[in-house]
Amino acid sequence: MIRILNVVGARPNFMKVAPIQRLMAVDSNNFDPILIHTGQHYDERMSQFFFNDLGLPEPDVFLGVGSGSHAEQTARIMIEFEKVCLQYKPDLVLVVGDVNSTAACSLVAGKLWIPVAHVEAGLRSFDRKMPEELNRLVTDALSDFLFVTESSGEENLRREGIDDSKIYMVGNCMIDSLAGFLEKAEQSAIMQQLGIRDGEFVLVTLHRPSNVDEPEPFQRIFSALAEIQKHLPVIFPIHPRTRKNIAGFGLENDVKNLKNLHLTEPLGYLDFIKLQRHCKFVLTDSGGLQEESTWMGIPCLTVRENTERPVTVTLGTNEIVGTDSAKIIDAANRILSGNWKKGEIPPLWDGHAAERIVKIFKNKIKDEG
């Protein structure tokens, strides 16, 4: 039996860890999974929604590090996670994605000579101004098991000198959760609550500091939303920081005057998936939504200058539009006129990535047993 610390730090991590944690928990002959929540992004109401929606147990350990600068947050995670490692003496630390918790826990494990597994390894935007890119580079350099979601990840890791023996193409655990909970999400009443109909609204998420903390890019995106809402209702579950910045940028009255732009509180996983599946298109700066939209065949406009998930563009339904108002509006009009690529589901995005990961660990146990 191997003891594995499964680390989550922010909501996107929950969907990736949930299917792995679940499979390990039912295989008690081989695994002793310990769920660690660093508390990097923590809203009690929202975290509980996601844990309940995904069937995750209460975390075995909650570090409660909270927010702060990148340096403060990373340092607090490292200090607290080291204590957990010394207490539990794990055989392996499993991290997912690209948040500060991912890199911080990898660093701690590496310095304690504990093997690291990285789920969603090898993704690269090639933009080192993004903190997530630095987290990805650090984590992959320290990892012993690199679980890859798309072919670009394999290519990037080989280019960086990672040995093939550490690289495993397994598919996408976020899609495991999506496929597994899609039927349950269909029972959500969120569309009735918002008064919207299938295929007749746009779904928006914005959270990256480069988009919402600076007035110029935010106002460009907002101008595009003002035009789009003339054609369809725009549903915008809004991050608290984004709401605060709307006031700070002096846009509160402008928002109130847009009768078809609807700001809502952040939503739980099932409610959000219901909206995503039935919207006309998604406008986002989220990495995960690019993947989910591709799998569901929903057009996606990514308001960034790059993506670490290129398969969503080359095979999927995603297009990178940046923050230029005219470019966003042009892409939206093409979708509204039916002039959009259909896309296809990338290889191994079949809902069984977590099974492949757990099987790899079991084979490793047998080999060393």
Q: Which residues participate in catalysis according to the annotation?
A: 207
Q: Are strands 2-8 and 261-264 parallel, antiparallel or unpaired?
A: unpaired
CA pair distance 9, 292, nearest whole angstrom: 20
CA pair distance 244, 306, nearest whole angstrom: 26
Give the Cβ contact number of residue 244 at 10 Å: 13
Q: Are strands 234-237 and 318-320 parallel, antiparallel or unpaired?
A: unpaired
Q: What phi, psi does 350 have (nearest 5°)?
A: -115, 10
The burial of 2, by beta-carbon neighbours within 10 Å (0-12 exposed, 13-18 middle, 19 or more buried), is given as: middle
Q: Nearest-CA neighbor of 298 among 254, 256, 343, 262?
A: 343
The amino acid at 350: D
Three-class secondary structure of residue 335 per DSSP: helix
Do residues 120 and 98 make contact, with C-beta atoms less than 8 angstroms apart? yes
The amino acid at 51: F
